[in-house]
Structure 1
Amino acid sequence: MKKQIILSIALAFIINKKAISQKHLIPLEKQDTLQVSDIKTTHLLFDQRIKYLDVGSPYFVADTTQQMVKLKHIGEELVDVRSQVSNLTVITEDGGYYSLVLSYKRFLDNLTYKVKRTVEFADAVKNEVEKEEEKSAELLSLCEKLDKNFNNKIHIKNGKSGDIRIRVTGIFYIKEKIGLRLELKNESAIDFDIDNILFRTKLNKRLSKDYLYQERVIHPIHTCTEDFEIIGNGQKNVTLLFDKFMLNEKEKLSIDIFETNGGRSASINIAREDLLKPKVI
């Protein structure tokens, strides 16, 4: 079984031929293979409705009914070892991922399995979700601090070509993060919907043809602004957070803003010297 998930499987045993059954639960921390017969049907019961199912071999067939999977081997070409092994993948509606190795065996005692996530796996998922929530809350807190520290001496403007004016109105350094605040002004009567803001390193000037240079794209880890529409003759402030980065002595930071379903764009550059003098919060 793949290590993405550990299954806890409880077995229900049939104890006589009159279908009078008694549950004898045996929790298994790991089960490397699930045996499937060609003369009896194996049933897997899940806690959630099944969203996706896949069997890796045509010699094993599967059917689903809400929260149950029915498995059977077709009983053909049993002399071929390849027909006796496969795998089963199940995804439930709550996002649960299950992967089992299947093997053929004609005579089986155990035919019904209750499939659950173990506590260890559930705790791991919960911890991962909590970490993401904590990270998101921390980034939102940093955005609020940047909003409160609006005053900044830096004012970098772009050229006068085009309808969109850009000013860099803030460069900040806070908790190992770099914050950039951009003021965008739409000088046309047509609304400007921002499709993408691209940050990349560029050389300050062209060097010799023998000099090889690879641009780097700097990806923001969080955008403090939710609305990316600049109404006609209006303006918008956009604040972004980055993991700490720095340019070398020959580089500048280039910022390009592109329009959704349109041909308009605008660019501005930030010198290395300006990035080295952020407002520390």
Structure 2
Amino acid sequence: MKNFKLLTIGYLLLMTISAFAQQTSKNRLSKIESDSLMIAYSKTTNIVFPFAIKSVDKGSPDILVQKAKGLENILQVKAAQKGFFQTNLTVVTADGKLYSFVLNYDEESPQLNLTLNKTKLDGQEIYFSDEIENDQYIQEYSKLAFYNKKKVRGEKESFYDIDFSLNGIFIRDEVMYYRIKVTNNSKINYDIDQLRFFIRDTKKVKRTASQEIEIIPIYILNNVVKIEGEAENTFVFALPKFTIPEKKYLAIQLMEKNGGRHVELNVKNKKLVKVTVLPKL
């Protein structure tokens, strides 16, 4: 009887291990291979995807990425820093497919124009956004945001006589409009290298890279590249509608070309929800 009980327990244990092994096999993740991509500081790499780009995540701030203006399936990539360390780029397209790239620096022979294999045979090479039906409306609403008297207070930073402020947040349909004023109080011209929007983690965990998601503008009103000495400019950035998850914030970064007068605004979600609805055209 004792031996029978031992055999029964052994059989049940064997069956449990077998079932667990089968379940583990079913749940095993399949590996998504990454493509290698060589990019440069002085040249732009264009990647044409088979479907509209929905999400972009870069592994390092040493990389610049943006959608081609008015197009939804072309991504433009270049180095923000010469000789950067190897990093990565992740792109998700409208068909739910994830693309992964390992980026390396090559100033002499970068890959300039790439087309990814299509998953469908028919269709056009370039895809325009379905969400933004008419660019003219975006431009007109940007003007309304520019002249609107409603202001956001308290979002201002100054550095080396450069005042950088977010003084208006507006919305119409699926687009948000950010009114940003840059004042150059010095006598030296301020050449703009970058004015960009990121969603970042509030806290960086030790030995872990903070995830950074860039929000690409749909349209920019008064998009100048230089603020003359003792002058100012007010921009309006039209961005896809978004809110900020818990423990994250919106970083608006202004960087000087060939200079060190860099300024950054950190905006929390409680400020973004105080948005003004623009009247319908």
Q: TM-score, normalised by structure 1?
A: 0.49
Larger radius of gyration: 1
Q: TM-score, normalised by structure 2?
A: 0.49
Larger proportion of strand? 1
